[in-house]
Chains A and B, each alone.
Chain A
């Protein structure tokens, strides 16, 4: 009755399958890259005809036809779930359309896979960067075009540095990708696609992760590329980006192409066709701050790339503090330290007067501190579990067995209270980005002293953004303080009472948001005008 050794071997093969397949994929990518030599930059006309795509009952793309001449920067506007991403995934070979035709340079084409799309000259920059975190930046860069088993790292390194310099991206080719912020990972993807020499470039919400100066550089480059004949599809929900960049704009709403416009753009009409109605911003309401909920005292922080020396901040109940800065300037370090997710090298963190320095995140949580990460599916939510499961997890345990009725009731109530498009049994990965963010927010417990948010509205449309901030402001009215990171300067100035600016580990003193302009903030983020800041709180 003993088990022969070969069964163990089989098992072994089984358990290592994922690791093996990882490498096999790499090998395949490398071999595939044999087949295409240096990319040509000849202009390409992209013509989508009568594209249909349904997911279950949702008609995500409903008879969409879009002909984009070479050298055009084509804007694709629409709110979450309008079908923008679906259309782009069809074009980039991630999914097949149910019906319709893709014509490249007038020839009907079938795009079998993303790799195939790249071969045909279509490169896509995804909203969530697709890369290999445990690998070096240069290795990621090399993937997809290595030229055989032994990649020419030297040339690649030179090209990489040249491209990075062009965009003023400070990426160290030898650093590991898992050290990068989401924004920097997007930068890497942009560089990689440009290097691959795509003739048509799809950018899915590319400006959300990068700072204002970086955005300007990106736009300048995109315009230059378009002038050289590059076809660019720019997917966004930000009117101002589209206005600044695009030569043409198409608006999607509920799977249909509802509007096509050329400059000068009528912003009001665009908003109306996006939402089917007018949307107005909420008015500013000054906070009446209460007691100190969080005190950061001479806080010194460091990770492998950055150091913050002796930062000081008092956060009062009911106020909103925005943390501004380029990606990787230290704001994430600071926020994580406030959550107890990063232990300070020196200094103290006090929550509600209690010294929690060096304690684990759960000790902070117990004192009413909540942390909402930027990467929703990687750190915030649990793929495979339903919304109900999440709500149960976030609540306090009552006994041993889960009361299914009560859990379902709770889920229903939260889903309607937060206007989440989904059912209690929906898995979180089936929700759209905006709904995932709403779900994260719905998981927050009551009462809370401090809510820490990384990019709370990244990738969300105006309506979701307004909704989320309305919910957050409710929390402030109940006495919670909010600290949030955003790359969107308008958002920072719109919703914050005070602003901290981070630049290469330097932390500004708290600025009064009402008396700070976008220009001023933009300069500080870029490292200008710091001399004039009186009593700088910390410096490198």
Chain B
């Protein structure tokens, strides 16, 4: 047991070193100074309180997406449709705000309803994938992928159609909401403790849900062997749908936060790829809730830290993507290698 934990750590370390090495190689080919680049990423992410709060802002939706995905992965489902679920969450949230912004309701209530609306939107969109899978025999990867495109189209249509800015429609999104409908942030910062709190509560909830409840155990059973789970009395397709709905709730919440905290309006790329990034985080932590928060933080830091690469080093900021992607691949590779060695020993 102890032994396997150590070898596990060693293999993870090798994966990190290989990913760093590969990224360095990419930079050398691009004739960029690797050490400077890494230094800039570190300084750019945790070099100052502003940077750290930027990382936390980016961490929130990523952690929420990962949280949701932990549930679907546990149920053995590849919820690649999470991007669309975030988007529809943001759309629902915007919709609630648009409906109520002229009303006399207190802003706090409107904000609360907008958050709930976002969660509902995400859940419904996720359920659609689940229903397609359960009753239509459409694999959730293909269904989710298709629905991502549909969600993007709905989003664009709203921004350039019914919800366009007075005068001219623009890629910069719908007209911003009044400041009373912004979720409160720390003074002088864009960081909202509300959003951060919700994300942390979510991951803690899901940790306990998956670890200590009947629901979590049954979900695991469905994910690992649906046939046997059914014979043991678990209503399998209902649990699959529930996993989709729950994941959709967290994805929708992430979408709502993007609207209420970050952009204060609906923009075309409202999900910002956090859903896909969440998939990578979930894979990297081997679907264990315990490590989701720190690894998501690391990924968010890479994202923020690479923002200043173009300014300082004339490097594209996608460098962080290279590092994130190779990291996931190398970790998966090391897991494979370890299993292979395990069989031989």
Contacts and interface: CB of A to CB of B under 8 A. Distances in A.
Contacts of B328: 10-11, 14
A397 to B, nearest CB: 5
Contacts of B224: 382-385
A182 interface: no
B217 A392 contact: yes
B229 A393 contact: yes
B208 to A, nearest CB: 8
A405 interface: no
A382 B221 contact: yes
Contact of B325 (A7, A361, A392): A7
A381 B225 contact: yes
Contacts of A443: 232
A402 B221 contact: no
B329 interface: yes
Contacts of A495: none
Given A1-B307, A383-B225, A14 B329 contact: yes
B58 interface: yes
A361 B230 contact: yes
A393 B235 CA distance: 12
A382 B231 contact: no
> Which applies to chain B's interface (DSSP): helix, strand, loop or mixed?
helix
A393 B221 contact: yes
A314 B273 CA distance: 61
B41 to A, nearest CB: 14
Contacts of A20: none
A402 B344 CA distance: 37
A221 B286 CA distance: 50
A394 B217 contact: no
A390 interface: yes
Contacts of A4: 318, 321
Interface in B169-214: 212-214
A490 to B, nearest CB: 28
Nearest to B208: A401
Contact of A11 (B58, B230, B279): B279
B217 A402 contact: yes
A528 interface: no
A379 B231 contact: yes
A379 B228 contact: yes
B339 interface: no
B160 interface: no
A3 B317 CA distance: 10
Residue from A2, A6, A95, A443 with most neighbouring chain B CB atoms (10 Å): A2
- Closest 6 A/B residue pairs (Cβ): A3-B273, A10-B325, A382-B225, A4-B318, A397-B214, A379-B227
Interface of A: 1-4, 6-8, 10-11, 13-15, 17, 95-96, 361-362, 365, 371, 373, 378-385, 389-390, 392-394, 397, 399-402, 404, 443
28 contacts: A3-B272, A3-B274, A3-B321, A4-B321, A6-B321, A6-B322, A6-B325, A7-B277, A7-B324, A11-B80, A11-B280, A17-B332, A361-B231, A362-B235, A371-B231, A378-B225, A379-B225, A379-B228, A382-B224, A385-B224, A389-B221, A393-B229, A393-B232, A393-B233, A394-B232, A400-B215, A402-B212, A443-B232
Given A382-B232, A393-B218, A402-B214, 19 more contacts: A1-B303, A2-B273, A6-B318, A6-B321, A7-B325, A11-B280, A14-B332, A361-B230, A378-B228, A384-B224, A390-B232, A393-B221, A393-B229, A400-B213, A400-B214, A401-B212, A401-B213, A401-B214, A402-B217
